Structure 1
C-alpha cells in the first residue's frame, strides 16, 4: 500500500513519512532502515565532523539505494563545505533546522538537491518559500527539541494556507490516524523524531528507550535551562536541577561542555567561536545564550549515546506518552500507511447528486 502525495513525488520515496535529523540518534543504521522501508531518513550532521559526515553518507549508500537526506546547521561556518559534500555524494535531500540563506538554497537546487528547511512559524515558512525552498517541515509545540508554543493543529493549516510548496507536518505524530489528520489539513506527509528514536534500529541504549516508554503524556517539560532557548525534554532529576541552578553555575557547565565537544569533534577554538558569533547573529541570541548552547550536544550525548539520563538530557516530543512499543522501521511505516489507507477508505462519502 502507498499514499501518493506531493512529498513522495518530490523526493522519490514510497511513503509520505519522514524521520527527522536527531543529533546522536539519526545515524547510518536508523536512516538506512527508514529509507529501505520507503520513508525519508535524514542523517543528523551537527554532531559530526566533515569527514565523519562523508563516511556516514557513504555507509547509508552502502546499505540502501533509496533516497535519503542530511540535516545541516545553516549557521555553521563550514556550511558551504557541507553543502558541497552533499552535492558531491549525490544526496537527494538537504534538511535545515534553521532557515538556510538564499545562496545556499540556490547552490543546492542548481545541483538537483531537494531543499526542505524546518520551521516553527508561518513567517519563516513564507521566507524560505520565497527563497526557493522545495518544501518545509513545520513543527508545532508538541514536538521535541527546540519548539515554539503554537500547537501543530493550528500552525500546520496556517502554513499550508500561506505557502504554495509541500508542507510536512511534525509534532505529535506516531500512527496512521495522525497521518490521515495531517493529510486532511493539507500536509503532504508527516515527520517524526521521538517515534523513530523508539524503534528497533535506533542505537539509543535499551535502558534509555525503556525510560522513554515509561513516560505518560505529562512526562516532558519545555525548559530554557539546557541551552538558553526553549527545548522539550523528558522530566528527570537532572532537568529539575538545571531548572533551579544559578546562572553562574549554568555558564560554567556550558564552558566545560564546550571544551568536551571541541575535543570530541576535533574542532578548534577559533572555529567554535566563529560558530558562536554566527549563531548569535542568525538566531538573535544573547552571549549568555550562545555560551549555554554548548550544553546541548554534550548533555544529549550523555543520555542518548552513553545511556546516562542522570548526567544527560533526553529530548522528546509530548507524543512519547502515547508510544508503547519498539517496532522495526519497516513495521512502523507499513503499519502507519496500512492504517491510514484503511481509515481513508472507510470515511463517509458525501453524495453530491441532486435530491
Structure 2
C-alpha cells in the first residue's frame, strides 16, 4: 500500500516524499540507517561529528550507492575543519546540510551559492530569527523532550514561537514518534517532524539488539536530563554510569575524560591540534570552562561504548522522553508509511469535526 501524500514546504524544499526527518545521531545515523530512511521517502541525515573527513566522504558515497533519493549531512558548525566539510558536501552534491549548532553567515552563504539546502537546529526563537536573516532555508526546532543535548523549553511552547517568528519551513523535533504527532505539528504550522529515538529503535538501525531492548524496556521517566556527564544538559537513559556521574565531582571525572578523548583521537585519526582547536571553538561558542570542555570531549566515546560496542552500563544512552512509548522495532519503510497514513487519517478526521460543527 502506498502512503498518502502530505505535500509540505519541507518536501518541496528538499525533494523528499514525506515530511519526516531522521536526525543526525552520532554513531547511529550512518549509511545503513540514512539510506533506509531515504528509500522510505523521508529525509535521512548522516551524523558527521564522529567521522573524520575521509570517513565522511566514504559514508556519503556509500549512501549514494544504496539510494538515489535525497539525503543530508549534519555538521558541527564549530568544528575546526567545518569549511573543508562544507567543501566536501558541495563537491559530492549532497542535497541538505543541517547543523547541530548555529552556523555563521559565511558558511550558510557558501552552501546556498552551491544550491545546498541549509537547515540549522535551534533551541530558541532568537536563534531562528538570526539564521533566517543569514539565509537559512529552514530550521529544525527541538524542544526539551528530545534526546541528547537539549534545552529546557517544551516543544509545544517553543514550536509556535518559532513558527510565528520566521517565514521559512520549521521542522518540529522533541517528543515525536507517530502520526498523531506529525498531524499535531502540521496543525501548529510546522512543515514536518524530526525524530531521533524513534529511528534509533528500528530494525535498520545498527545499534546492537541488546541495547535496543534496554531502550524498549525503559519508561518515559528513565530518560533524565543531567549535566554531570559532559557539563551540558543531556537527556539520556539512567545507567550505572549516570548514577556514578551524579555522585562524583568534576575533578575526579577528568582523568577518565582525558583517556576517552585520547581514544577518540586515535579512533578518528584527528590530531591533537585539531582536537584542541575544536575544544577552543566549543569553549567560545558555549562559554564553557576548560573542565567542562574536557568532559564534553569525553562524550563521543561514551556514546560509542553503548551504541556501537553494546556496553549500556559503561556508556551513554541518549534518549528522548518518547522512549517510554516505544515497544517495537519496525523497519524505516514500515515506520514512515505508518506515520504518514496515521497523520492523514487524523487530519481528515479533524476536518470532519469542523464540517459537522458548521452544519
TM, length-normalised to structure 2: 0.97
CA pair 352-320 structure 1, distance change in 2 beyond 3 A:
closer
Q: Distance in 1 between matches of 2:260 and 2:321?
A: 27
- 2:220 matched to 1:230? no
Q: Distance in 2 between matches of 1:226 and 1:123?
A: 28
Deviation at 1:334, TM superposition (A): 0.1
1:37-56, aligned counterparts within 5 Å? Answer: 37-56=40-59
Q: Distance in 2 between matches of 1:87 and 1:351?
A: 48
- 2:188 matched to 1:182? no
**CA offsets per residue over residues 254-280 of structure 1, 9 Å max, x none?**
111111111111111111111111111
Map of 1:162 onto structure 2: 165
SS in 2 for 1:293: helix
**CA offsets per residue over residues 291-344 of structure 1, 9 Å max, x none?**
111111000000000000111010000000001100000000000000111111
- 2:340 matched to 1:345? no
**CA offsets per residue over residues 156-212 of structure 1, 9 Å max, x none?**
001101111100000000000000000010000000000000000000000000000
Q: Distance in 2 between matches of 1:353 and 1:176?
A: 24
SS in 2 for 1:14: coil
Map of 2:63 onto structure 1: 60
Map of 1:137 onto structure 2: 140
Deviation at 1:351, TM superposition (A): 5.1
Uncovered stretches (5+) of structure 2, i.e. residues with no partner = none
Deviation at 1:350, TM superposition (A): 3.2
Map of 2:9 onto structure 1: 6
CA pair 252-341 structure 1, distance change in 2 beyond 3 A:
same
Root mean square deviation, CA, Å? 1.3
- 2:313 matched to 1:316? no
Q: Distance in 2 between matches of 1:238 and 1:279?
A: 24
Kept in 1, the 8 Å contact 2:240–2:314? The answer is: no
CA pair 351-332 structure 1, distance change in 2 beyond 3 A:
closer
Map of 1:114 onto structure 2: 117
Deviation at 1:354, TM superposition (A): 9.3
CA pair 352-197 structure 1, distance change in 2 beyond 3 A:
closer
Q: Distance in 2 between matches of 1:66 and 1:288?
A: 43
TM, length-normalised to structure 1: 0.98
Deviation at 1:69, TM superposition (A): 0.1
- 2:23 matched to 1:20? yes
Partner of residue 84 from structure 1, selected from 80, 84, 87: 87
Q: How many residues align?
A: 355
Map of 1:216 onto structure 2: 219
Q: Distance in 1 between matches of 2:329 and 2:241?
A: 25
- 2:190 matched to 1:196? no
SS in 1 for 2:256: helix
1:253-272, aligned counterparts within 5 Å? Answer: 253-272=256-275
Kept in 1, the 8 Å contact 2:250–2:291? The answer is: no
SS in 2 for 1:116: strand
Q: Distance in 1 between matches of 2:314 and 2:358?
A: 67
CA pair 133-350 structure 1, distance change in 2 beyond 3 A:
same
Partner of residue 255 from structure 2, selected from 252, 256, 260: 252
| Greater mean alpha carbon deviation, residues 14-23 or residues 342-351 | 342-351
Map of 2:299 onto structure 1: 296
Q: Distance in 1 between matches of 2:173 and 2:217?
A: 22
- 2:77 matched to 1:74? yes
Deviation at 1:284, TM superposition (A): 1.7
Deviation at 1:352, TM superposition (A): 11
Provide runs of 4+ in structure 1 moved above 6 Å: 352-355
